[in-house]
């Protein structure tokens, strides 16, 4: 694989000080080091749907000992008739919930023209699977200087994913965290939404010092299937997890985005426990 890659500065071979496969380039988000000694969990609703819903999930996130909240104000949806997120109102809700709970905020930016506005609220910019090769967006995110969570396009090769990271890095921003979220295969026969590529974690850790998270939620598509994938990702040495969560007693039928895959607070707490000190982890 390596000989096909051009001279990307995000590769260990071209990144002075990180040539050794045991080293990671940690990315600080709200004072929390992604790529540090312990796995980091980022959790929250798929979409910010209201202040009350966001605060309730944020309290569950904080209650599980997690320090970073995710939630979409701008949602990339397959159909234009679907809920597209609350937009600006969603950003304001995130800012308020962030202030009230002390949680750091991760939220997606879809449009290069909105990077500055989203970066004013977010501690980390999420670039979604559909946007992975939107080069103007990658460049603007790079220019913002904010940490960037770069999800893998669901049909992207590892080379293409690292090439996308390079667009951010070439703007002088190496605060990049990669996130595997499942890839498309011809048939998953109803048991998965996408197939989680756990093999890629070792490949990434070999090739680049950028930390890598795993999002089990968008691969699972159903909340009951999230926990085993989360455990597998940690066992495979991911630097952490990005997970969709709901508050206790959520009426899923009323949710407007990814209603089936958010895990309830008890499962979130259990998963957070897997990431605490004392558990055996591989360094590679
Ligand atoms: C999300 O994180 O809610 C999301 C839309 O994910 P992806 O870009 O991986 O589909
Ligand atoms: Mn989602």
38 lies in some domain: no
Q: Is 262 helix (H, G, I), strand (E, B) or coil?
A: coil
Q: Which atom of ligand 1 is nearest to the CA of 128?
A: 8
Residue 109 DSSP symbol: -
Residue 174, phi then psi, degrees to nearest 5: -105, 15
Q: At what angle do helices 199-207 and 158-169 cross, to 10 degrees?
A: 40
Q: Identify the H or E element spanning 159.
A: helix 158-169
Q: Residue 272 to residues 43, 82, 222, 234: CA-CA distances in angstroms?
A: 10, 32, 19, 11
Per-residue pLDDT reduced to its tens digit, 251-273: 999 999 999 999 999 999 999 99
| Structure tokens that stand for 173 in this block | 């921003």
37 lies in some domain: no
What's the rounded Cα separation, in Å, for the pair 75 and 67? 23
> Tell me, what's the pLDDT at 93?
98
> Tell me, what's the pLDDT at 284?
46
11 lies in some domain: no
Burial (CB < 10 A; 0-12, 13-18, 19+), residue 51, is: middle
Q: Taking Cα atoms as reference points, which of 229, 240, 204, 203 lies closest to residue 70?
A: 240
102 lies in some domain: yes
What's the rounded Cα separation, in Å, for the pair 162 and 158? 6
Q: Is 234 helix (H, G, I), strand (E, B) or coil?
A: helix
Q: Is 46 in the pocket of ligand 1 (CB under 6 A)?
A: yes
| Structure tokens that stand for 35 in this block | 């790529």
Q: What is the DSSP string of 85-96?
A: --THHHHHHHHH
34 lies in some domain: no
Q: Is 129 in the pocket of ligand 1 (CB under 6 A)?
A: yes
8 lies in some domain: no
**pTM exceeding 0.85:** yes
188 lies in some domain: yes
225 lies in some domain: yes
CB 178 within 8 A of CB 148: no
Centre of ligand 2 to C-alpha 130, Å, is 12
Q: Identify the H or E element spanning 142.
A: helix 135-144
Q: To test the ligand 1 pocket, which listed residue (128, 154, 178, 260) has its Cβ within 8 A of the most ligand atoms?
A: 128
Q: Which atom of ligand 1 is nearest to the CA of 181?
A: 9
Instruction: For residue 97, give its domain range.
Output: 45-275
Residues near 168 by beta carbon (within 8 Å), at least 6 away in sequence: 138, 139, 141, 142, 148, 150, 174, 176
Centre of ligand 1 to C-alpha 129, Å, is 6
> Tell me, what's the pLDDT at 274?
95
Which residue numbers in the chain have pLDDT < 70?
1-3, 278-284
CATH number, domain containing residue 108: 3.20.20.70
What's the rounded Cα separation, in Å, for the pair 179 and 127? 10
What's the rounded Cα separation, in Å, for the pair 212 and 25? 10
- Total number of domains constituting the chain: 1
Strand pairing of 148-151 and 124-127?
A: parallel
Q: Is the dihedral of CA 139, 160, 80, 78 positive or negative?
A: negative
């Amino acid at each position: 694989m390596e000989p096909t890659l051009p001279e990307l500065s995000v590769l260990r071979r071209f990144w002075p000080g990180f040539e050794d496969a045991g080293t990671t380039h940690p990315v600080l988000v709200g004072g929390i080091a992604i790529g540090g000694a312990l796995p980091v969990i980022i959790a929250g609703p798929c979409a910010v749907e209201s202040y009350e819903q966001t605060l309730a999930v944020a309290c569950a996130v904080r209650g599980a000992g997690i320090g970073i909240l995710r939630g979409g104000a701008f949602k990339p949806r397959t159909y234009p008739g679907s809920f597209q997120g609350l937009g600006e109102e969603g950003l304001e809700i995130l800012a308020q919930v962030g202030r009230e709970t002390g949680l750091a905020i991760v939220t997606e930016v879809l449009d290069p023209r909105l990077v500055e506005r989203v970066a004013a609220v977010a501690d980390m910019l999420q670039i979604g699977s559909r946007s992975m090769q939107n080069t103007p967006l990658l460049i603007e995110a790079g220019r913002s200087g904010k940490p960037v969570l770069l999800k893998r396009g669901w049909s992207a090769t590892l080379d293409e994913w690292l090439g996308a990271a390079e667009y951010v890095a070439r703007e002088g921003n190496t605060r990049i965290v990669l996130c595997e979220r499942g890839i498309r295969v011809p048939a998953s026969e109803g048991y998965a939404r996408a197939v989680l590529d756990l093999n890629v974690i070792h490949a990434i850790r070999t090739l680049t010092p950028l930390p890598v998270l795993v999002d089990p939620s968008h691969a699972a598509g159903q909340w009951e299937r999230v926990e085993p994938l989360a455990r597998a990702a940690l066992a495979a040495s991911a630097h952490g997890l990005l997970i969709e969560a709901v508050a206790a007693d959520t009426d899923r039928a009323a949710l407007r985005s990814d209603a089936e895959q958010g895990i309830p607070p008890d499962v979130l707490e259990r998963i957070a426990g897997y990431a605490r000190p004392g558990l055996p982890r591989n360094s590679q």
